[in-house]
Structure 1
């Protein structure tokens, strides 16, 4: 009687995969030049006001000296009382925030209450520290819970900082100068929104890697509102002002020459291929 065969199923891989890291390090030791990292740019800022928090970001995504996307969303959803600003690699920030949004939803369902901001910050810190900075995601978490409004910045290595106003990204120096000049405690909603708008606009104006539109997110204990775009600085490139369809005869033909090309018709049956097939692997 033949014995039953057991099928070995490979477990599903979750999260980021860095299996080729050791191979890449060995190639570097052997003299292989690794590809250069591409410069990214962002301006994100957040501030705490009397009734909640205001988050803001630009919408330009860059890869080196090239603008990859003029309308990139940098305000990411975490929970109904929390949003996150992402700076660094756009793919990393998008994946991390989506993964964390699912974990926070499971936490809310298991505890039957709104997830606190500190819980999201703790899980994000542990995840980023586990990968030792290889996930290029610099985050600012903003939200309102039972303890009040909070904004906390998280570096790619897992360290965090808590302050009444924060800025991250390549344009953060210009944005921070505006925040330090005009911030004051117990601001109203409109004052906080204007302050974040001015801070992001300072980064857009003074940083070549930041630009395009300005997005704003306002979070209070009652609701969360994302205004995208809050201010549109990038003109609509899809709208054509003039018609570029010209009728025949509008362009003058200066000269015209007809050349006869000698060719020979070869049927598919008699054709012999002597070249070796190209290696595509």
Structure 2
């Protein structure tokens, strides 16, 4: 009896004859991902006087199905930066492994310095542009938040084409339409953002998460939020919206599953 893992789940050769694996041979052209399948929605971020605050909900949708409700889309890097991922979850996992490998290389480097947010954003934008040039793009839009080489707040975006830009406030997905108007009222330019307090920035981002939950069908009331300052990264991954206006709905007969 064949106990090798590659034989698990296959018919026994001594009973059914040799296993025919010819159908596994593919002589056709190489194929790449044509569209994202399991996706995360908006990531939003805002600069303030001493750092950056960034948030993303914990939902990964399979098409229109809210399939996975505990997917963390914020990743810390070297205690200096946070990367927020929008778009395809499998490509996010690939980039996460890439960043983990880079973090280990940096930790054991003889130079003694690690990548700051500005360097990290440049690296990720080159990775995205290279994959796009290979006609095999990573279906993500990233926000990189943290501090640059001079310990100044840094916030920039990179998409699947390798396009990059920076602003006092950024958002991906529907957040670019629903959250950005709110954030731009709070910090319309760099000068205003440089005077914004941490408390006001966090409150504005939480308000945006509430708007997205109400208005974006691919969002969730559970989210992750990170505040990056010189003191380090304060990351909370299981925050929940408070004072929801829809909390009364489960008490209405005819809504959801009735137990009585």
TM-score, normalised by the number of residues in structure 2:
0.72
Task: Answer with 102-111 or 183-192: which moved more.
Answer: 102-111
Counterpart in the other structure of 2:141:
138
Distance 1:112 1:150 in 2: 22
Counterpart in the other structure of 1:118:
118
Structure 1 unpaired stretches of 5+? 1-18, 26-33, 236-243, 245-281
**Helix, strand or coil: the match of 2:105?**
helix
Q: 1:109 to 1:68 in 2, by over 3 A?
A: same
Counterpart in the other structure of 1:264:
none
CA shift at 1:139, angstroms?
Answer: 0.4
Counterpart in the other structure of 1:205:
214
Give the alignment partner of residue 159 of structure 1, picking from 154, 160, 163. 163
**Helix, strand or coil: the match of 2:204?**
helix
Structure number with the higher helix fraction is 2
1:88-125 deviation line (CA, Å, top 9, x unaligned): 01121122033123214423542202322222112111
Whether 1:223 and 2:232 are equivalent positions in the alignment is yes
Higher relative contact order (CA 8 A, sep 6+): 2
**Helix, strand or coil: the match of 1:134?**
coil
Structure 2 unpaired stretches of 5+? 1-25, 248-258
**Helix, strand or coil: the match of 1:180?**
helix
Distance 1:65 1:172 in 2: 20
Distance 1:146 1:182 in 2: 26
Distance 2:78 2:34 in 1: 37
Distance 1:83 1:21 in 2: 40
Select the structure of larger CA radius of gyration. Answer: 1
Distance 2:241 2:104 in 1: 33
Distance 2:73 2:67 in 1: 14
Distance 2:27 2:239 in 1: 42
Counterpart in the other structure of 1:42:
41
Asked whether the 8 Å contact 1:44–1:200 carries over to 2, the reply is: no
Asked whether the 8 Å contact 2:179–2:212 carries over to 1, the reply is: yes
Counterpart in the other structure of 2:89:
90
Whether 1:149 and 2:153 are equivalent positions in the alignment is yes
Whether 1:182 and 2:191 are equivalent positions in the alignment is no
TM-score, normalised by the number of residues in structure 1:
0.67
